[in-house]
Structure 1
Amino acid sequence: MRELDLDRALAVATGLAGWACERIRRPRPEGVREKDGPADIVTDTDEAVEAHLREVLGRAFPGHGIVGEEYGVTPGSADSPHWLIDPVDGTTNYAHGIGWCSVSIGLVAPDGTPLLGVVADPWRGETFTAVRGGGARLNGTPVRAAPHTTLTGHVFLTEWAAHAHWPGMDALLRDLAGRHCTVRVMGSTALSLAQVAAGRATAAAIGSFHPVDGLPALLLATEAGAVALPGLPSWETPLLLAAPGVAAEAAEVWRGAGL
């Protein structure tokens, strides 16, 4: 891989996330329509944001590949990294006026190693950033995973598989309920995983990992000290993130659900 200025890449990605947040905060989403079914929708905003991010990244980093939620893969040169773009992660919330969605941007090495991640919350003015080996930050201030030593009494975030439960989810929820751990399904994978980095959620899980909306936030969380099971996940495999002090308990629950 050619020499890459990650500080510059992070600055460009953070600036684009700020622009996207302003676009998302416009009063009303337009052009809401189905993609693969009633529970999978897209808006004009999703497409406009991704198109702009692709254009700027393509000019700033010629030769880099781009993988986006709405427009798929633009190949880059063989020895260059590629960008991951989810312009509105949580489109259903956004389209229905629920203020919980995010902009997710990541950069990945040719071998799949995440290099940087940015997840921005348009509604709270929060931007999570991480560069591999440099820790995680929230609006420039370092953040760490929660210091908790038990799941009991704390928050566990998860997401549906679109509109449905995923295999093992019901057993997982039952075990967590028995431990008096409060589960929330919020509607944005990237933003939910980022809450583990911020120390707000003690753990989070998704049933099917998609790098476009998951890898930037996964880097944030692990740079903040969270533990990922099964490490760096592959496409469409389950993922569990946990604060280090609850990792063993979370893994026990995870295995008990057959995951």
Structure 2
Amino acid sequence: MTGRDLGAALAVAEEAARWAQRHITSRRPGPGDPEEKAGPGDWVTSVDREVEEHIRAALLAAFPGDVVIGEEAGRSEGAGPDGGEQAAGAGPDGGEQAAGAGPDGGEQAAGAGPDGADGAAAGLAQAGDGGLTWYIDPIDGTTNFVHGLPGVSVSIAAVDAGGVAVGVVHDVYRDEAFTAIRGRGARVDGVAVAAGGEGDRVGLRGGLLLTEWSGLLPWPGMYGLITDLQERFTATRVLGSCALSLASVGAGRATGAVLGGHYNPWDVLAGALIAAEAGCVVFDPDGVAGDVPMGGLGVARPDVADEIRRAWQQARARAADAAADDGATADDGATAGVPGGRVGTGEAEAAP
């Protein structure tokens, strides 16, 4: 798409996110809410579905040739051969689902890795004829929403043949919009932002790392990384929203963010683009800088990115060694050596 087209795409996404913010703040979970999806603590509410339905309709009305993939209802396309909406298969709840369901019954895009997550941004589903594929998380932080806590966002990203092109993360309760267009920088409420905020602090001392649980569980090396950074006088916070964590680093409000567990494209694509366009380094667990790694994702200010990458790698290696010593599987490395073994119950899925 041309630069002008991407500007129009961002404008539509921003307006849809603003509507979602107003709708979410005017609502509470209704009768029968919340419902469990993949397992205990993996919530969906009627408000999630209402918001996704509205955003999907707004995007397809503006761009009928595009593809929309949402967390709750899967994939739908623009006008089909009969002029009506063209969907791709029914999901487990009767909603639409893209071809190829992931292990939790959720949408799995082309190029998915063995855990159901995409191998890289380049493997994401793409619309034909130069169109965009949109990824929607109607409420990123549903658990926070259910309990009446902040840390709730709306995340909308657009992908084209060149990767992630447009990103919007709207902080619902602060009514704050983080946005980016590939190659044009990042903004918060229309004001340009750049990595190197936090009072232009240098190094990790006094910094802040953001992370998220892998569902209800820690991810391999999570405790080790937190302890390592604590010894360097860097605090850690869990916001409960992957999108907000990533966007906050781009806005200069945190030193870095590491997501070492399972997540889906709609959780991270918009936030990672915002961080990258603000000048942050985006990297995977092996320390390789890239677009949007889907098997573990870190973003950080350029001056501390290498240090955070090394600390993450070392924490993962220690967790793997501990798991091997305890006779645990590689996936159990997160809690190997922790008193009581595994923390919590249920599968390690993306934080709702």
TM-score by length of 2: 0.70
In structure 1, the gaps of 5 or more residues are: none
Paired position in structure 1 for 2:267: 213
Task: Indicate whether 1:184 and 2:237 are aligned.
Answer: yes
Paired position in structure 2 for 1:89: 140
Q: For residue 5 of structure 1, give the secondary structure of its aligned residue in structure 2.
A: helix
Paired position in structure 2 for 1:258: 316
| Corresponding residue to 2:282 among 222, 225, 228 | 228
Counterpart of 1:248, as a letter, is D
TM-superposed CA distance for 1:234, in Å, is 3.9
Paired position in structure 1 for 2:203: 150
* Higher mean displacement: 33-42 or 1-10: 1-10
Cα RMSD (Å) of the superposition? 1.7
Name the one with the larger strand percent.
1
Paired position in structure 2 for 1:135: 185
Larger radius of gyration: 2
CA contact (8 A) 1:209 1:234 kept: no
What is the alpha-carbon distance in structure 2 between the residues aligned to residue 105 and residue 233 of structure 1?
A: 15
Q: Deviations over 1:57-104 (max 9, x none)?
A: 111101111111101122465232200100000000001000211000
What is the alpha-carbon distance in structure 2 between the residues aligned to residue 168 and residue 81 of structure 1?
A: 36
| Corresponding residue to 1:165 among 201, 207, 218 | 218
What is the alpha-carbon distance in structure 2 between the residues aligned to residue 167 and residue 75 of structure 1?
A: 37
What is the alpha-carbon distance in structure 1 between the residues aligned to residue 297 and residue 230 of structure 2?
A: 19
CA contact (8 A) 1:128 1:220 kept: yes
Paired position in structure 2 for 1:104: 155
Counterpart of 1:210, as a letter, is N
TM-superposed CA distance for 1:4, in Å, is 6.6
Paired position in structure 2 for 1:69: 71
In structure 2, the gaps of 5 or more residues are: 79-126, 285-289, 318-352
Q: Deviations over 1:98-136 (max 9, x none)?
A: 02110001100145x000100001111210110000000
Q: For residue 218 of structure 1, give the secondary structure of its aligned residue in structure 2.
A: helix
* Higher mean displacement: 28-37 or 49-58: 28-37
What is the alpha-carbon distance in structure 2 between the residues aligned to residue 35 and residue 75 of structure 1?
A: 24
Write the mapping of 1:23-102 to structure 2, written as runs, cut at 5 A.
23-30=23-30, 31-75=33-77, 77-79=127-129, 80-102=131-153
Q: Deviations over 1:8-56 (max 9, x none)?
A: 1111000001000001101422221111112100000000000111111
Q: Deviations over 1:161-220 (max 9, x none)?
A: 111101121221121111111000110000111110110100001013421110110000
* Higher mean displacement: 128-137 or 249-258: 249-258
TM-score by length of 1: 0.94
* Higher mean displacement: 191-200 or 74-83: 74-83
Counterpart of 1:126, as a letter, is E
CA contact (8 A) 1:82 1:110 kept: no
CA contact (8 A) 1:153 1:182 kept: yes
Counterpart of 2:28, as a letter, is R
Counterpart of 1:188, as a letter, is S
Counterpart of 1:191, as a letter, is L
What is the alpha-carbon distance in structure 2 between the residues aligned to residue 4 and residue 62 of structure 1?
A: 17
